[in-house]
Amino acid sequence: MAEKSNGGLGRLENTLKKYFVDKAPFQIPDDIKEIIVKFGPWVILVLMILSLPVIFAALGLTAVLSPFAMMSGYQGMWFVPMILNVIVIVLELIALPGLFKRTITGWRYAYYATLVSIVASLASYQILGAIISGLIGFYVLFQVKEKYK
């Protein structure tokens, strides 16, 4: 039974489900899915805590160096990926309670975080990184989606 489409993101979700679940050549075994769902939120939480010093340093360096970059004539779009990465962190923070409770809302916020993360990678001209992280992220997300209600 097809899921109800909620606009463009709903259609994209249905399309991704078709490729990462229905047509996927390899399905993650149920016991592995259970492990991912059980420990995944903890991994996200630990990685977010570990990344805080890097985020604060990046924000601090950006604040300190941006006037010099502007004076030297640099007119790059450096702030777009940074803003997108902040949005990813906020979406992951919002997703965490739902992921721990195994709600579909938590899963959906993790899905949105993955989408924004891919856009951030593309905005940083990290095309290969965006493709690889998107493929792996979507594959795992859509394989475990059935565990969230």
Q: Kindly calculate the radius of gyration of the chain based on its CA atoms and give it in whole angstroms.
A: 17
Q: What is the pLDDT of residue 10?
A: 86
- Separation CA 48–CA 22 (nearest Å): 31
- Separation CA 125–CA 146 (nearest Å): 33
Closest to 113 measured CA to CA, from 125, 126, 128, 98: 98
Q: For every one of its 149 residues, what pLDDT tens digit does the chain have, with 9 covering 90 and above?
A: 444 556 888 899 999 999 999 999 999 999 999 999 999 999 999 998 888 777 777 666 666 666 766 666 666 666 788 789 889 999 999 999 999 999 999 999 999 999 999 999 999 889 999 999 999 999 999 999 999 99
Token duo for residue 14: 């249905």
What is the residue extent of each domain of the chain?
A: 29-147
Backbone angles phi, psi at 142, to 5 degrees: -75, -25
Whether the predicted model's global pTM rises above the 0.95 cut: no
Q: What is the pLDDT of residue 136?
A: 96
Q: What is the pLDDT of residue 62?
A: 64
- Terminal CA-CA length for the chain: 16
Q: What is the pLDDT of residue 2?
A: 45
